[in-house]
Amino acid sequence: MSDATELVEQAPVQDRDLLLRLSLYFDAFEQRLRQGEGWFIFNADGKRGKRISTFIERRLDDVGGDVDACMMPWRDFALSAYVREVGLPELAPKVRSDEGNTRLRREYEFARDVTEHVWDRCQSAELLVVTDLRPRQSHEATFLDRTVEQRYATRKATILLTPEMPAELEADLRTIDPTASTWNRLFSRMYETSLVAL
């Protein structure tokens, strides 16, 4: 835990409180996981976002291999969302109609297997940490919504770090989904099961 302690001591004043609160979270980690309690951390951009995600990684290292945790940068999450929600559905008719094209079928099956693995990890990990969350496309919002809803239903802990403030993230999601149902459900589920930090 010395690496994590060093991070707290070296952090700017405004981050020390959050890192100390995260320390308390990890001190009672097994109980937090049983309760499905996570974090929704806003304003985690640049160096601050890196400091927080590094702190979480170090504390997960302290816990050891007993916890099935998955840390995923938004870039990887968004790519999987695109492949799963857009790419595969668009390719499926071509793969079915061109059964003789073994290369296309192989690539399609590989992409399906990889995204299925990501979806399985998003659902099954005891703790899912998504860093640098910034949805810009409807498929990203859909995948995020489905992931958080599934984890909420199974009482699994989720930590979301976003560089945006709540109003900015809400505006982004309202642009994607003018009904605001995605934002309302995401915020409601995370607020009910998570500690919130700005």
Would you place residue 4 in the very low, low, confident or very high pLDDT band (cuts 50, 70, 90)? low
- Looking at domain 2-197, its CATH class is alpha beta
Confidence band, pLDDT 50/70/90 cuts, at residue 100: confident
Instruction: Tell me which residue of 132, 125, 104 sits closest to 47, measured CA to CA.
Output: 132
pLDDT attached to residue 96: 86
Residue 119 phi, psi dihedral angles, 5° rounding: -60, -45
pLDDT in tens, 24-48: 999 999 999 999 999 999 999 999 9
Please check the confidence at residue 7 and state whether its pLDDT lies above 70: no
CA dihedral (158, 162, 164, 170) in degrees, to 10, reads: -40
Q: Would you state the pLDDT for residue 8?
A: 66
pLDDT score recorded for residue 155 = 96
Indicate the pTM of the whole model: 0.90
Can you give the residue ranges of every domain in the chain?
2-197
